[in-house]
């Protein structure tokens, strides 16, 4: 398989989503927090990197040379680290700033004792994933949040209707045994955006006694990268946690935008509704905030628009 970090489209910024479950000492985390910030500044890279005793999780964006250099420095800083990396491209910077943070978990499940390094489901290569989707004896579960599933998923996948990944264990405890009893699947297969949530989700299911648990290696992003669109069983766009909001099957920015008030992804048709006010509210949050809140949002949007105008004056676009 090709190394996507080596592909260099002209005039594009590289977006790299990555993670690795690996024990990291507290002293190493302290060093990395400073080192990564320095690397990002030197390479003109923005994004977010989370560090914890269980590993690293992040998404960054910048010139390809800067992204590749930062990832290589990260690999060299922790012995044995093998990053799961998904790469895409964008015309504009996907993040406003760079942040490296220490966390208790690199993906928050909120359940003590879950360790994918000790117990994890079987990995499914993206090229074999369609077989699982088409198999009536396989129970396929989307481990992402409700708003992510709302803009795209694999047909037939179970939606746990969760608001955050913290809700997933409670759904498993309350609903999954009944579903398994009713449907009688021979195996369970789960997927998420980049694979990290499924690492913990499969570990949790195994701890709860579920058998024959599988998950899509590299997540939806790896599937979209490797499976030809004409063979794909993916329906819709894939939500991503940056300014692009969503990507299509070509891993290019999709048709969705984001409500700057509540953070919900919005389809183009939702921008045409009477309840939508740019930067202030959408149909999802029109009853959530006070008039004072909406006044603050409007002022914030005015300032953003003003900065954007000044930036365009300072750095005019080149004629093609």
Exposed/middle/buried for residue 146 (C-beta within 10 Å: 0-12, 13-18, 19+): middle
Among 201, 236, 271, give the residue marking a domain's end.
Answer: 236
Residues 132 and 30 in one domain: no
CA angle 272, 277, 279 (to 5 degrees): 125
Which CATH number is 86's domain given? Answer: 3.30.70.100
- Do the domain assignments include residue 152? yes
What's the longest Cα–Cα distance across the chain?
A: 63
- Do the domain assignments include residue 113? no
Residue 13 β-bridge partners: 90
Contacts of 89 (CB under 8 A, 6+ apart): 9, 12, 13, 14, 15, 251, 252
Residues 86 and 161 in one domain: no
Residues 77 and 141 in one domain: no
Residues 289 and 209 in one domain: no
> What is the CA 19 to chain-centroid distance, rounded?
11
- Do the domain assignments include residue 279? yes
Residues 201 and 300 in one domain: no
Which residue in the list 20, 61, 192, 198 is annotated as catalytic?
192
**Cβ atoms within 10 Å, residue 38:** 12
Measured in degrees and rounded to the nearest 5, phi and psi for residue 119 equal: -150, 120
- What pLDDT is recorded for position 2? 44
Q: Is the pTM of this model over 0.85?
A: yes
Residues 78 and 133 in one domain: no
User: Range of 285's domain?
Assistant: 256-307
Residues 127 and 223 in one domain: yes
- Decide: helix, strand or coil at residue 287: coil
Residues 271 and 225 in one domain: no
- Do the domain assignments include residue 114? no
**How would DSSP label each residue in 202-271?**
HHHHHHTT--SEEEETTHHHHHHHHS-GGG--EEE-EE-SSTT-EE-TTSSB-S-EE-TTT--EE-GGGG
- Do the domain assignments include residue 91? yes
Number of compact structural domains in the chain: 3
Residue 106 near residue 56, CB atoms below 8 Å: yes
d(CA 127, CA 48): 30
> Token digits for 112?
């003590």
Residues 26 and 93 in one domain: yes
Backbone torsion region of residue 41, taken as left when φ is above 0, otherwise alpha when ψ lies between -120 and 50, otherwise beta:
alpha
Q: Which residues of the chain have pLDDT under 70?
A: 1-10, 308, 310-320
Residues 156 and 214 in one domain: yes
Among 33, 67, 102, give the residue marking a domain's end.
Answer: 102
Among 236, 265, 280, give the residue marking a domain's end.
Answer: 236
Residues 150 and 94 in one domain: no
d(CA 197, CA 203): 10
Residue 216 near residue 195, CB atoms below 8 Å: yes
Which CATH number is 181's domain given? Answer: 3.40.250.10
- Do the domain assignments include residue 223? yes
> Token digits for 254?
């999709």
- Do the domain assignments include residue 26? yes
Give the N- to C-terminal CA distance of the chain in Å, as an integer. Answer: 35
- Do the domain assignments include residue 320? no
Residues 264 and 210 in one domain: no
- Is 238 considered catalytic here? no
């Amino acid at each position: 398989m090709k190394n996507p970090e080596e592909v260099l489209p002209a005039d594009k910024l590289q977006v790299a989503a990555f993670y690795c479950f690996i024990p990291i000492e507290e002293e190493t985390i302290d060093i990395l927090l400073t080192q990564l910030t320095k690397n990002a500044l030197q390479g003109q890279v923005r994004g977010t990197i989370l560090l914890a005793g269980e590993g690293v999780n992040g998404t960054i964006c910048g010139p390809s040379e800067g992204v590749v250099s930062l990832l290589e420095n990260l690999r060299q800083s922790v012995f044995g680290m093998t990053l799961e990396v998904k790469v895409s491209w964008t015309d504009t910077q996907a993040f406003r700033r760079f942040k490296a943070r220490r966390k208790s978990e690199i993906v928050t499940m909120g359940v003590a004792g879950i360790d994918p390094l000790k117990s994890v489901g079987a990995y499914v290569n993206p090229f074999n994933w369609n077989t699982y989707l088409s198999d009536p004896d396989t129970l396929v579960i989307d481990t992402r949040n409700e708003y992510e599933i709302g803009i795209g998923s694999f047909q037939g996948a179970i939606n746990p209707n969760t608001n955050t990944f913290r809700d997933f264990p409670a759904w498993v405890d309350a609903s999954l045994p009944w579903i398994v009893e009713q449907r009688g699947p021979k195996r369970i297969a789960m997927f998420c955006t980049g694979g990290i949530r499924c690492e913990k989700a499969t570990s949790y299911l195994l701890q709860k006694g579920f058998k024959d648990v599988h998950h899509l290696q590299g997540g939806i992003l790896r599937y979209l990268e490797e499976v030809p669109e004409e063979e794909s069983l993916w329906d819709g766009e894939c939500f991503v946690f940056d300014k692009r909001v969503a990507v299509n099957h070509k891993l290019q920015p999709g048709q969705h935008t984001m409500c700057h008030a509540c953070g919900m992804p919005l389809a183009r048709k939702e921008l045409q509704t009477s309840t939508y006010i740019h930067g202030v509210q959408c149909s999802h949050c029109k009853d959530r905030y006070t008039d004072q809140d909406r006044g603050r949002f409007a002022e914030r949007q005015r300032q953003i628009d003003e900065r954007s105008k000044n930036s365009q004056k300072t750095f005019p676009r080149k004629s093609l």
